[in-house]
């Protein structure tokens, strides 16, 4: 069916007769409303529209219809031949152009050419749709197979995996995670995780994840199990939580700590006895110079071992949570006192010491002995590792109700790949192996800082010195 959208004229009759003569059904529309009704109800194979139709530009009307029916062939009938108008029509997407003088053969030929082109375009679209559909079907089959494989892999992972959407609703949860949280026989997918899993540590992990990815977080269960959890955002999906059972590692660590604590405690008495007898040797009779040297070496060695034992015992008490003493402490006064203790060594090594202490510092709520121990370890390390003629900068300041302590030196620095391990017990950087040390000082610092809910970290490059930072919460006295 061919739709003629033309105003009444002799041309309208000529077009109607010419097209009907070759067996085309013809429908005439004298207004835009009639044209739209015919387009919606009859779906014509061709539209012929006048240069001016129903008081409006025919090209503009045709453009609007092509937005609705992109494959509809449209011929523009012009009152006279005008190259600019023909170019405008073709640029607008119309398929042809008619203008006087009109002959029946020209009308039929132009109409057939437009219909043939439309059929070819329709066949091409249908062919492409079939090919695309076939390709999608094959991909769907492959996708279904891949989905089965992924489901099998997901279920076989020995770590627990939970996938959440942006609203913290469960998308996926594997067998290990179900067993860990006691969800056997329950399908929690589609529900908010807070409603499905009532676990305080998991809630805290999700709350902490608002700041970004969390790599290490422990989930403790009432039956003694301990899991290490990571929370990682997934763009355009949500996030994933992975958990690993580290119960056996925690038990091994506890056994090691108990062993070290027991051995350290049992060593104190014999070491005290050795040191006492070494001092008594000089009182029972005169000694030669060589014997005096041997006694001094015995005393020095016993004192070093005693210091190590005391550090181990301190670390054990800190990790066990026995340090409950709390009082108001001014960090700047402890820093000044600690620097005074190291003043002889600083002068001996000719170090340049810079102190930057902000005025009116808030107080800490802490054990002054532990704070002194923490500062002594950090300042002592800087003094020990900074070469002769080097420099040390110690600063104390407050920001956002937090106290920040920084000690920066010009020593050998710490390799980047070792910086995460220097707070471990007995670990020492490989580039300072020739300097004496137990490897416990920074571990004690980390334990003290953790007990006060603070943070400690290092920034360093090899041969560029090191900067250690402590951030501790300031004391906020309660209002009466």
Three-state secondary structure call for residue 84: helix
Q: Which segments of 386-440 does DSSP mark as H helices, in order?
A: none
Q: Tell me if 174 sits within 8 A of 157, measured CB to CB.
A: yes
**Long-range contacts made by residues 62-68, C-beta under 8 angstroms, separation at least 24?**
62/89, 62/92, 62/93, 62/94, 63/92, 63/93, 65/39, 66/92, 66/93, 66/94, 68/39
Triad 334, 336, 339: Cα angle to 5°? 105
Instruction: List, in order of start, the domains of the chain with CATH numbers.
Output: 2-124 (3.40.50.2300), 157-245 (3.30.450.20), 251-320 (1.10.287), 327-473 (3.30.565.10)
Alpha carbon distance 282, 292 (integer Å): 8
For the chain, how many residues are written?
Answer: 480
Of all residues in the chain, what percent carry a pLDDT higher than 90? 8
Q: Considering the chain, what is the average pLDDT of its residues?
A: 81
**Res 480: pLDDT:** 44
Three-state secondary structure call for residue 50: strand
Give the pairing type, strands 327-329 and 466-473.
unpaired
Q: Per DSSP, what are the bridge partners of residue 352?
A: 391
Worst-scoring range by mean pLDDT, 258-262, 366-370, 451-455, 467-471? 258-262
Residue 27 has pLDDT above 80, yes or no: yes
CA-based nearest residue to 76, from 91, 60, 97: 97
Q: What is the phi-psi region of residue 185: left when phi exceeds 0, alpha when psi lies from -120 to 50, beta otherwise?
A: left
At 125, the pLDDT band (50, 70, 90 cuts) reads: low
**Residue 453 CB burial class (10 angstroms; 0-12, 13-18, ≥19):** exposed
**Res 199: pLDDT:** 87
Helix axes 289-320, 247-281, angle to 10 degrees: 150
Q: Which residue's structure tokens are 């992990």?
A: 205
CA-based nearest residue to 47, from 23, 69, 79, 21: 69
Alpha carbon distance 248, 253 (integer Å): 9
More confident site: 236 or 384: 384
Output b/e per residue, 248-266; b: 16+ Cβ within 10 A. eebeeeeeebeebbeebee
H or E element at residue 460: strand 455-460
More confident site: 168 or 440: 168
Of all residues in the chain, what percent carry a pLDDT higher than 70? 85
Query: Cα dist. 69→45, 108, 363 in Å?
Result: 11, 23, 77
**Res 350: pLDDT:** 92
What is the average per-residue pLDDT within 319-345? 80
DSSP notation for 254-318: HHHHHHHHHHHHHHHHHHHHHHHHHHHHTTSS---HHHHHHHHHHHHHHHHHHHHHHHHHHHHHH
Three-state secondary structure call for residue 326: coil
More confident site: 430 or 466: 466
What is the average per-residue pLDDT within 179-202? 84
pLDDT digits (tens, 9 = 90+) for 54-96: 888 888 888 888 888 877 888 888 877 777 787 888 878 888 7
pLDDT digits (tens, 9 = 90+) for 379-431: 988 998 899 999 999 999 988 889 999 999 998 898 888 888 888 877 788 87
Alpha carbon distance 317, 265 (integer Å): 12
Residue 479 has pLDDT above 60, yes or no: no
CB atoms near residue 29 (< 10 Å): 21
Structure tokens that stand for 77 in this block = 């009938």
């Amino acid at each position: 069916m061919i739709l003629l959208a033309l105003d009444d004229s002799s041309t309208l009759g000529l077009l109607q007769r010419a097209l009907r003569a070759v067996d085309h059904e013809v429908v005439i529309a004298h207004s835009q409303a009639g044209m739209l009704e015919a387009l919606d109800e009859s779906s014509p194979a061709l539209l012929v529209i006048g240069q001016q139709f129903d008081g409006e530009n025919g090209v503009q009307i045709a453009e609007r219809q092509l937005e609705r029916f992109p494959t509809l062939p449209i011929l523009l009938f012009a009152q006279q031949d005008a190259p600019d108008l023909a170019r405008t029509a073709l640029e607008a997407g119309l398929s042809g152009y008619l203008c006087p003088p009109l002959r029946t053969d020209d009308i039929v030929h132009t109409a057939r050419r437009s219909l043939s082109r439309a059929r070819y375009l329709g066949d091409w679209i249908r062919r492409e749709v079939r090919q695309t559909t076939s390709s999608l079907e094959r991909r769907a089959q492959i996708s279904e197979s891949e989905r089965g494989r992924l489901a099998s892999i997901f279920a076989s992972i020995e770590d627990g995996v939970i996938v959440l959407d942006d609203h913290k609703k469960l998308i996926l949860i594997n067998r290990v995670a179900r067993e860990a949280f006691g969800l056997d026989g329950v399908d929690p997918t589609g529900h908010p995780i807070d409603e499905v899993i009532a676990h305080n540590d998991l809630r805290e992990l999700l709350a902490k994840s608002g700041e970004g990815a969390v790599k290490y977080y422990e989930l403790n269960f009432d039956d003694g199990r301990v899991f290490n959890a990571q929370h990682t955002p997934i763009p355009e999906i949500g996030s994933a939580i992975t958990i690993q059972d580290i119960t056996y590692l925690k038990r091994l660590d506890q056994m090691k700590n108990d062993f070290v604590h027991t051995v350290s405690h049992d060593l104190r008495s014999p070491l005290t006895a050795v040191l006492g007898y070494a001092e008594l040797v000089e009182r029972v009779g005169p000694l030669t110079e060589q014997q005096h040297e041997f006694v001094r070496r015995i005393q020095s060695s016993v004192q070093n071992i005693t210091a190590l034992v005391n550090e181990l015992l301190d670390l054990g008490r800190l990790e066990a949570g026995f340090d409950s003493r709390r009082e108001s402490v001014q960090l700047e006064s402890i820093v000044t006192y600690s620097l005074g203790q190291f003043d002889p060594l600083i002068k001996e090594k000719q170090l340049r010491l810079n102190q930057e202490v902000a005025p009116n510092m808030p107080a800490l709520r802490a054990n002054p002995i532990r704070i002194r121990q923490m500062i002594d370890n950090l300042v002592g390390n800087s003094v020990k590792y900074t070469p002769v003629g080097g420099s040390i900068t110690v600063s104390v300041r407050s920001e956002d109700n937090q106290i920040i302590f920084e000690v920066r030196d010009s020593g050998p620095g710490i390799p980047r790949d070792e910086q995460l391990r220097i707070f471990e017990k007995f670990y020492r950087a490989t580039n300072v192996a020739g300097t004496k040390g137990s490897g416990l000082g920074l571990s004690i610092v980390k334990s003290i800082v953790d007990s006060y809910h603070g943070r400690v970290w290092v920034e360093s490059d090899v041969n560029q010195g090191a900067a250690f930072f402590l951030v501790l919460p300031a004391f906020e006295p309660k209002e009466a």
